[in-house]
Structure 1
């Protein structure tokens, strides 16, 4: 069997419905700051099961908005995982906070709650402000357990759910808890990058059940400005003696705090709304692909660990841990299979090494990195293409 077309690790799918949705906006009167934004927010919140959603320009902007809304200050410490995209940590640095990495669970690849608890136990009260767990690869963090820990130490939680829209874990009562539903995290964030489950080109979303945080996020994503007809206006110093918001002229606005332009466009929102209609179909296909990989590589001697078949896993990535990872990576590329590595541990990046982190600080994360490789995973991956990927890996190991 030979397939000559390149097989990437991830890829977007744009349907005719997607194209029609975008064209409809292009023919409308609003390309940005129009009605599609709120429509996307409301439909995404309903899909996730959260009370509120705020659309943003990208996932990194979502993270930055969250740390601003939670008032991260200079010198405050926040705990996160080293196995994530750098933005999960960088958002703390944007606000002047200090990032503290805790090690991962070597079986799940998720932030290890026992490592987090050891950090908290060793610190004086008030040292840490919050925790940023990541639903890495699409596997949902047990946020119920993290919430208990956060409550004990008076911490907030930002859930980085960029890999896991539609993912879930089972709580202590046997109920499904969807990633981003706001039951255990103060804020959750999502990304709509092309390789994600919902592709808008760029884009992000913050979900929450906290009305005050929702209001704050809305202001911060748009320069910190509140318009006179905005239901969330809170200034007591109305201009020109105007007594209430209902009497505000249309031009009146207040910059109440320093914010950013982190807005999504109606073009992207329309694409997101269309993609959301088939999100469950995409999840079903991802889980079928994951099951095929698991069955193909289960008990293979060259496989040290793999993502496996896990209830609630959203499978943004399917990961193998293997011996001779570099050799396999290069061999796959020679056969037009473009696997990827997720991720170089954040604490070993030059920037964070300058903050005092060193090799050997987080042994589980470092061991994982030496062996991990992400296989092609996207809903339009065909059975024939997946079979070619599996056969090529087996040939490399003479399995």
Structure 2
């Protein structure tokens, strides 16, 4: 079976669809740029605020909380305002939050101000994320071929660029209070211009036409009672956990478990991102040829093998190869899950919102859970949770098939 639904009758001209494709890629890349920029400056923020590891973890929880709070209603916002305006609104919140956190951390060393900024940052990313996935799925349907993983690859590249620019800023001594507000301005302007190329509101959120707020709320509640939507959410939860485990812990795990330097540990995480980006770029061709279930089954098994090798290899170079395989194997699960949630366009905003809430719970709870487990068995062996969870997720693959 083909991996995407049959394209709807093209209500937009092909040139408009291609422009929307570019706009969505820009939105994904800039979202990643903002997040990568923040994570690159966390060491400077921790030093400025003189935080212990525990207090830093609680501070970072403000950002995750903001994202999870935003997602239950972000689908309703996208239906009400359209995806373009919702992305612009999310970008505004991201920019204000990022700039606020940077200024309060660097100039005032005021922890509550940084926490408020991070909550706004997280709320903005959550709102932005759901809207750009809805738009990306609509563009994918009109193109008639799989492209969502490439949008997520753009996010990965944006986050790497943000981290790289953040490292340069730290190296040259650029203050957080200057770097983050400048980045926030670039992100806001770029996201607004990218969103201007999106498809018209009536094409991406047709159910919003004439629908009352009460009707939209009923549609959202109905999505929470749909078995397929909930199972897709569970599948995305496992995928998000598997990605987040590498993002949060693979560098530390290699430092602790293989005795590499901190710089080498960071490079190992870079290997994971490269593998994931390659998988998302070329995996679209496999999805169109063999369908979601076959391709995801193969790639998840690759991720299981890769994560297991990364932990159990006993040899640094072999373990790094395992990390690359892990990134390659997990690359498609999250974006394909989002595409599956948006298969039926009239229900896409509510269903993507539900799946995002379930999936992003992994980013909220995954890091502390692995940290607690790492205290008992070591950070490297704690990563064995990833293959243990991925194997049962194979049973969920049939729910990713497009409805007939």
- TM-score category of the 2 structures, normalised to the smaller one: under 0.3
More strand by share: 1
TM-score (norm 1): 0.27
TM-score (norm 2): 0.27
More helix by share: 2
Which structure has more relative contact order (CA 8 Å, sep 6+)? It is: 2
